[in-house]
Structure 1
Protein backbone atom coordinates (compact mmCIF):
# COMPACT_ATOMS: atom_id res chain seq x y z
CA UNK A 1 0.00 0.00 0.00
CA UNK A 2 1.17 3.53 -0.69
CA UNK A 3 1.61 5.89 2.22
CA UNK A 4 2.38 9.57 2.61
CA UNK A 5 5.47 10.42 4.68
CA UNK A 6 5.11 13.06 7.42
CA UNK A 7 1.33 13.11 7.01
CA UNK A 8 0.78 15.51 9.92
CA UNK A 9 3.03 18.04 8.19
CA UNK A 10 1.37 17.43 4.83
CA UNK A 11 -2.02 18.06 6.42
CA UNK A 12 -0.80 21.27 8.05
CA UNK A 13 0.57 22.53 4.72
CA UNK A 14 -2.66 21.73 2.87
CA UNK A 15 -4.79 23.48 5.45
CA UNK A 16 -2.50 26.52 5.55
CA UNK A 17 -2.57 26.77 1.77
CA UNK A 18 -6.37 26.51 1.77
CA UNK A 19 -6.55 29.41 4.24
CA UNK A 20 -4.22 31.49 2.06
CA UNK A 21 -6.11 30.75 -1.15
CA UNK A 22 -9.43 31.62 0.45
CA UNK A 23 -8.25 35.21 0.93
CA UNK A 24 -7.18 35.78 -2.69
CA UNK A 25 -8.96 38.05 -5.14
CA UNK A 26 -9.99 37.00 -8.65
CA UNK A 27 -6.99 38.89 -10.00
CA UNK A 28 -4.62 37.06 -7.66
CA UNK A 29 -6.02 33.66 -8.65
CA UNK A 30 -5.18 34.56 -12.27
CA UNK A 31 -1.61 35.70 -11.45
CA UNK A 32 1.19 33.78 -13.20
CA UNK A 33 2.95 31.49 -10.73
CA UNK A 34 6.63 30.54 -10.67
CA UNK A 35 5.68 27.49 -12.75
CA UNK A 36 6.04 28.61 -16.36
CA UNK A 37 2.63 28.84 -18.02
CA UNK A 38 0.73 28.05 -14.82
CA UNK A 39 -1.49 30.51 -12.97
CA UNK A 40 -2.03 30.45 -9.22
CA UNK A 41 -5.34 28.72 -9.97
CA UNK A 42 -3.59 26.02 -12.03
CA UNK A 43 -1.12 25.31 -9.21
CA UNK A 44 -3.92 25.07 -6.67
CA UNK A 45 -5.83 22.69 -8.94
CA UNK A 46 -2.71 20.57 -9.42
CA UNK A 47 -2.32 20.16 -5.67
CA UNK A 48 -5.87 18.79 -5.36
CA UNK A 49 -4.88 15.89 -7.63
CA UNK A 50 -2.35 14.36 -5.23
CA UNK A 51 -4.82 11.96 -3.61
CA UNK A 52 -7.11 11.59 -6.62
CA UNK A 53 -4.90 10.54 -9.54
CA UNK A 54 -4.48 6.84 -10.29
CA UNK A 55 -1.75 5.21 -12.38
CA UNK A 56 -4.15 4.32 -15.26
CA UNK A 57 -5.57 7.84 -15.30
CA UNK A 58 -2.13 9.44 -15.34
CA UNK A 59 -0.90 6.96 -17.97
CA UNK A 60 -3.78 8.02 -20.22
CA UNK A 61 -2.95 11.69 -19.61
CA UNK A 62 0.68 10.99 -20.58
CA UNK A 63 -0.46 9.22 -23.76
CA UNK A 64 -2.59 12.22 -24.71
CA UNK A 65 0.45 14.44 -24.03
CA UNK A 66 2.55 12.23 -26.34
CA UNK A 67 4.77 11.05 -23.51
CA UNK A 68 5.52 14.52 -22.14
CA UNK A 69 5.03 14.05 -18.39
CA UNK A 70 5.26 17.78 -17.59
CA UNK A 71 2.61 18.51 -20.21
CA UNK A 72 0.43 15.73 -18.79
CA UNK A 73 0.60 17.30 -15.32
CA UNK A 74 -0.17 20.73 -16.79
CA UNK A 75 -3.11 19.46 -18.85
CA UNK A 76 -4.60 17.69 -15.83
CA UNK A 77 -4.20 20.80 -13.66
CA UNK A 78 -5.75 23.16 -16.21
CA UNK A 79 -8.65 20.83 -16.86
CA UNK A 80 -9.38 20.69 -13.14
CA UNK A 81 -8.96 24.45 -12.81
CA UNK A 82 -11.66 24.89 -15.46
CA UNK A 83 -14.05 22.41 -13.82
CA UNK A 84 -14.05 23.74 -10.28
CA UNK A 85 -14.60 27.12 -8.69
CA UNK A 86 -12.13 28.74 -6.33
CA UNK A 87 -14.26 27.77 -3.35
CA UNK A 88 -14.47 24.17 -4.54
CA UNK A 89 -10.70 23.89 -4.94
CA UNK A 90 -10.17 25.31 -1.46
CA UNK A 91 -12.72 22.87 -0.07
CA UNK A 92 -11.03 19.94 -1.78
CA UNK A 93 -7.67 20.84 -0.22
CA UNK A 94 -9.29 20.84 3.21
CA UNK A 95 -11.11 17.55 2.59
CA UNK A 96 -7.93 15.78 1.50
CA UNK A 97 -5.72 17.25 4.23
CA UNK A 98 -5.16 13.97 6.07
CA UNK A 99 -5.76 11.51 3.22
CA UNK A 100 -2.95 8.96 3.39
CA UNK A 101 -2.66 8.27 -0.33
CA UNK A 102 -0.33 9.19 -3.16
CA UNK A 103 0.25 8.20 -6.78
CA UNK A 104 2.12 4.89 -6.82
CA UNK A 105 4.72 6.30 -9.20
CA UNK A 106 5.70 8.97 -6.66
CA UNK A 107 7.87 8.76 -3.55
CA UNK A 108 6.69 9.00 0.08
CA UNK A 109 7.99 12.56 0.44
CA UNK A 110 6.68 13.81 -2.91
CA UNK A 111 3.41 15.18 -1.45
CA UNK A 112 5.26 17.23 1.17
CA UNK A 113 7.90 18.45 -1.28
CA UNK A 114 5.22 19.48 -3.78
CA UNK A 115 3.31 21.42 -1.16
CA UNK A 116 6.37 23.22 0.18
CA UNK A 117 7.52 24.23 -3.31
CA UNK A 118 4.12 25.02 -4.81
CA UNK A 119 3.15 27.19 -1.85
CA UNK A 120 6.20 29.29 -2.73
CA UNK A 121 5.29 29.15 -6.44
CA UNK A 122 2.05 30.85 -5.45
CA UNK A 123 3.27 33.15 -2.68
CA UNK A 124 6.35 34.72 -4.28
CA UNK A 125 4.62 36.24 -7.35
CA UNK A 126 1.92 37.60 -5.04
CA UNK A 127 4.50 39.24 -2.80
CA UNK A 128 3.57 37.06 0.15
CA UNK A 129 5.99 35.47 2.61
CA UNK A 130 5.62 31.80 3.49
CA UNK A 131 8.04 30.37 6.03
CA UNK A 132 7.82 26.60 6.36
CA UNK A 133 9.29 25.07 9.51
CA UNK A 134 12.84 23.87 8.95
CA UNK A 135 11.94 20.43 10.27
CA UNK A 136 9.51 20.04 7.34
CA UNK A 137 11.91 21.26 4.71
CA UNK A 138 15.07 19.45 5.83
CA UNK A 139 13.95 15.87 5.01
CA UNK A 140 13.00 16.95 1.49
CA UNK A 141 16.52 18.15 0.64
CA UNK A 142 18.22 14.73 0.35
CA UNK A 143 15.02 13.27 -1.09
CA UNK A 144 14.82 15.71 -3.98
CA UNK A 145 18.61 15.66 -4.50
CA UNK A 146 18.39 11.99 -5.44
CA UNK A 147 15.01 12.12 -7.23
CA UNK A 148 15.67 10.70 -10.71
CA UNK A 149 13.52 13.07 -12.77
CA UNK A 150 14.26 16.39 -11.02
CA UNK A 151 17.88 16.80 -12.13
CA UNK A 152 19.08 18.59 -9.00
CA UNK A 153 22.39 16.74 -8.82
CA UNK A 154 23.15 17.65 -12.44
CA UNK A 155 22.32 21.35 -12.03
CA UNK A 156 24.47 21.59 -8.89
CA UNK A 157 27.36 19.40 -10.00
CA UNK A 158 30.76 20.81 -9.04
CA UNK A 159 29.61 22.84 -6.03
CA UNK A 160 29.12 22.16 -2.33
CA UNK A 161 25.64 22.92 -1.03
CA UNK A 162 25.20 23.96 2.60
CA UNK A 163 21.79 24.52 4.17
CA UNK A 164 22.70 26.95 6.92
CA UNK A 165 19.69 26.30 9.18
CA UNK A 166 19.61 22.50 9.25
CA UNK A 167 23.14 21.25 8.60
CA UNK A 168 22.41 19.45 5.32
CA UNK A 169 25.35 19.40 2.91
CA UNK A 170 25.95 17.77 -0.45
CA UNK A 171 28.52 17.83 -3.23
CA UNK A 172 32.07 19.15 -3.50
CA UNK A 173 33.53 22.36 -4.88
CA UNK A 174 32.94 26.09 -4.33
CA UNK A 175 30.23 26.62 -1.75
CA UNK A 176 26.62 27.61 -2.29
CA UNK A 177 24.88 28.23 1.03
CA UNK A 178 21.63 29.56 2.39
CA UNK A 179 18.42 28.67 4.24
CA UNK A 180 16.79 25.32 3.59
CA UNK A 181 13.65 26.92 2.10
CA UNK A 182 15.65 28.67 -0.60
CA UNK A 183 17.76 25.57 -1.13
CA UNK A 184 14.66 23.41 -1.68
CA UNK A 185 13.27 25.85 -4.23
CA UNK A 186 16.56 25.86 -6.11
CA UNK A 187 16.88 22.07 -6.02
CA UNK A 188 13.42 21.88 -7.56
CA UNK A 189 14.56 24.11 -10.42
CA UNK A 190 13.18 27.46 -9.29
CA UNK A 191 15.50 30.38 -10.06
CA UNK A 192 13.78 32.34 -7.28
CA UNK A 193 15.43 29.97 -4.82
CA UNK A 194 18.86 31.12 -5.96
CA UNK A 195 18.02 34.65 -4.83
CA UNK A 196 18.10 33.35 -1.23
CA UNK A 197 21.49 31.69 -1.62
CA UNK A 198 25.04 33.01 -1.82
CA UNK A 199 28.61 31.80 -1.99
CA UNK A 200 31.43 31.53 -4.54
CA UNK A 201 29.69 28.72 -6.45
CA UNK A 202 26.45 30.61 -7.07
CA UNK A 203 27.46 32.11 -10.43
CA UNK A 204 28.29 28.62 -11.69
CA UNK A 205 24.83 27.24 -10.99
CA UNK A 206 22.90 30.32 -12.13
CA UNK A 207 23.72 29.44 -15.72
CA UNK A 208 22.11 26.02 -15.32
CA UNK A 209 18.68 27.20 -14.17
Structure 2
Protein backbone atom coordinates (compact mmCIF):
# COMPACT_ATOMS: atom_id res chain seq x y z
CA UNK A 1 0.00 0.00 0.00
CA UNK A 2 2.75 2.46 0.91
CA UNK A 3 4.69 1.73 -2.26
CA UNK A 4 1.57 2.34 -4.32
CA UNK A 5 1.06 5.72 -2.66
CA UNK A 6 4.69 6.66 -3.25
CA UNK A 7 4.50 5.73 -6.92
CA UNK A 8 1.31 7.74 -7.31
CA UNK A 9 2.78 10.76 -5.52
CA UNK A 10 5.86 10.66 -7.75
CA UNK A 11 3.65 11.34 -10.79
CA UNK A 12 1.81 14.34 -9.30
CA UNK A 13 2.66 17.84 -8.18
CA UNK A 14 1.98 18.89 -4.59
CA UNK A 15 -0.95 20.96 -5.85
CA UNK A 16 -2.44 17.97 -7.69
CA UNK A 17 -2.09 15.72 -4.63
CA UNK A 18 -3.78 18.29 -2.40
CA UNK A 19 -6.58 18.69 -4.95
CA UNK A 20 -7.10 14.92 -5.03
CA UNK A 21 -7.26 14.78 -1.25
CA UNK A 22 -9.72 17.67 -1.07
CA UNK A 23 -11.93 15.96 -3.64
CA UNK A 24 -12.49 13.08 -1.18
CA UNK A 25 -13.85 15.30 1.61
CA UNK A 26 -17.31 14.08 2.48
CA UNK A 27 -16.88 10.75 0.73
CA UNK A 28 -18.64 7.84 2.38
CA UNK A 29 -16.87 5.20 0.29
CA UNK A 30 -14.80 2.62 2.11
CA UNK A 31 -12.29 0.16 0.71
CA UNK A 32 -13.68 -3.34 0.25
CA UNK A 33 -13.31 -5.41 3.39
CA UNK A 34 -13.08 -2.45 5.77
CA UNK A 35 -15.54 -1.02 8.24
CA UNK A 36 -16.17 2.49 9.56
CA UNK A 37 -14.26 1.41 12.69
CA UNK A 38 -11.21 0.77 10.51
CA UNK A 39 -11.37 4.32 9.18
CA UNK A 40 -11.78 5.66 12.72
CA UNK A 41 -8.74 3.68 13.87
CA UNK A 42 -6.72 5.01 10.93
CA UNK A 43 -7.70 8.58 11.74
CA UNK A 44 -6.88 8.27 15.44
CA UNK A 45 -3.63 6.34 15.10
CA UNK A 46 -2.21 8.20 12.10
CA UNK A 47 -3.12 11.48 13.77
CA UNK A 48 -0.82 10.42 16.61
CA UNK A 49 1.84 9.34 14.09
CA UNK A 50 1.93 13.00 13.04
CA UNK A 51 1.38 14.71 16.40
CA UNK A 52 3.81 12.76 18.62
CA UNK A 53 7.02 13.44 16.64
CA UNK A 54 6.04 17.12 16.39
CA UNK A 55 5.48 17.34 20.14
CA UNK A 56 1.85 18.32 19.57
CA UNK A 57 -0.73 17.16 22.13
CA UNK A 58 -3.62 15.62 20.19
CA UNK A 59 -5.95 13.83 22.60
CA UNK A 60 -8.18 11.10 21.24
CA UNK A 61 -11.80 11.00 22.40
CA UNK A 62 -11.84 8.04 24.80
CA UNK A 63 -15.02 6.49 23.37
CA UNK A 64 -13.62 6.61 19.85
CA UNK A 65 -10.31 5.13 21.01
CA UNK A 66 -12.16 2.30 22.77
CA UNK A 67 -14.14 1.47 19.63
CA UNK A 68 -10.94 1.46 17.56
CA UNK A 69 -9.14 -0.68 20.16
CA UNK A 70 -11.97 -3.22 20.08
CA UNK A 71 -11.61 -3.39 16.30
CA UNK A 72 -7.84 -3.86 16.52
CA UNK A 73 -8.03 -6.41 19.34
CA UNK A 74 -10.59 -8.85 18.03
CA UNK A 75 -9.76 -9.53 14.40
CA UNK A 76 -6.33 -11.06 14.50
CA UNK A 77 -5.21 -9.48 11.21
CA UNK A 78 -3.33 -7.24 10.50
CA UNK A 79 -2.22 -6.18 13.99
CA UNK A 80 -2.54 -9.49 15.81
CA UNK A 81 -2.94 -7.48 19.02
CA UNK A 82 -4.65 -10.28 20.97
CA UNK A 83 -1.85 -12.65 19.97
CA UNK A 84 0.96 -10.21 20.78
CA UNK A 85 -0.50 -8.86 24.02
CA UNK A 86 -2.93 -11.56 25.17
CA UNK A 87 -0.39 -12.80 27.73
CA UNK A 88 -0.61 -9.38 29.41
CA UNK A 89 -3.56 -7.87 31.24
CA UNK A 90 -4.34 -4.64 29.38
CA UNK A 91 -6.66 -2.33 31.32
CA UNK A 92 -7.87 1.15 30.48
CA UNK A 93 -7.84 3.62 33.35
CA UNK A 94 -10.31 6.02 31.73
CA UNK A 95 -12.84 3.53 30.34
CA UNK A 96 -14.35 0.19 31.27
CA UNK A 97 -12.11 -1.89 28.99
CA UNK A 98 -9.76 -4.77 29.75
CA UNK A 99 -8.42 -7.79 27.90
CA UNK A 100 -5.85 -10.55 28.27
CA UNK A 101 -4.35 -12.07 31.38
CA UNK A 102 -0.91 -11.80 32.89
CA UNK A 103 1.31 -8.91 33.97
CA UNK A 104 -0.63 -5.65 34.08
CA UNK A 105 -0.33 -2.89 31.49
CA UNK A 106 -2.68 -0.02 32.27
CA UNK A 107 -3.25 3.52 31.14
CA UNK A 108 -5.52 5.62 28.96
CA UNK A 109 -7.37 3.70 26.27
CA UNK A 110 -5.67 5.92 23.68
CA UNK A 111 -2.23 4.69 24.82
CA UNK A 112 -3.44 1.08 24.72
CA UNK A 113 -4.64 1.65 21.15
CA UNK A 114 -1.21 2.95 20.17
CA UNK A 115 0.45 -0.05 21.81
CA UNK A 116 -1.90 -2.50 20.08
CA UNK A 117 -1.14 -0.92 16.68
CA UNK A 118 2.63 -1.17 17.13
CA UNK A 119 3.43 2.34 18.40
CA UNK A 120 5.35 1.29 21.52
CA UNK A 121 7.56 4.38 21.62
CA UNK A 122 4.52 6.66 21.73
CA UNK A 123 2.52 4.41 24.07
CA UNK A 124 4.92 3.24 26.78
CA UNK A 125 5.51 6.63 28.49
CA UNK A 126 1.76 6.83 29.17
CA UNK A 127 1.42 3.27 30.50
CA UNK A 128 2.28 1.67 33.83
CA UNK A 129 2.36 -1.75 35.43
CA UNK A 130 4.60 -4.79 35.65
CA UNK A 131 3.86 -5.65 32.03
CA UNK A 132 5.30 -2.32 30.83
CA UNK A 133 8.68 -3.18 32.33
CA UNK A 134 8.58 -6.58 30.64
CA UNK A 135 7.82 -4.94 27.27
CA UNK A 136 10.81 -2.62 27.68
CA UNK A 137 13.24 -5.52 28.18
Aligning the two structures, in what range does the TM-score lie when normalised by the shorter sequence? 0.7 to 0.9
Deviation digits for residues 48-90 of structure 1, max 9, x if unmatched? xxxxxxxxxxxxxxxxxxxxxxxxx11122224332416843x
2:16 and 2:56 mapped to 1: Cα distance? 20
What CA RMSD, in Å, does the superposition of the two structures yield over aligned residues? 2.0
2:46 corresponds to = 118
1:157 corresponds to = 86
Residue 138 of structure 1: SS of its match in structure 2?
helix
- The runs of 5 or more residues in structure 2 that have no matched partner are none
Residue 91 of structure 2: SS of its match in structure 1?
strand
Alignment TM-score, normalising by the size of structure 1:
0.58
Alignment TM-score, normalising by the size of structure 2:
0.85
In 2 relative to 1, CA 100–162 (structure 1 residues): closer, same or farther, beyond 3 Å?
same
Q: Is the 8 A contact 1:176 1:198 kept in 2?
A: yes
Q: Is the 8 A contact 2:9 2:17 kept in 1?
A: no
2:14 corresponds to = 85
1:122 and 1:86 mapped to 2: Cα distance? 21
Q: How many residues align?
A: 134
In 2 relative to 1, CA 109–84 (structure 1 residues): closer, same or farther, beyond 3 Å?
farther
Offset at residue 95 of structure 1 (A): 4.0
Instruction: Give the structure, 1 or 2, with the largest relative contact order (CA under 8 Å, sep 6 or more).
Output: 1
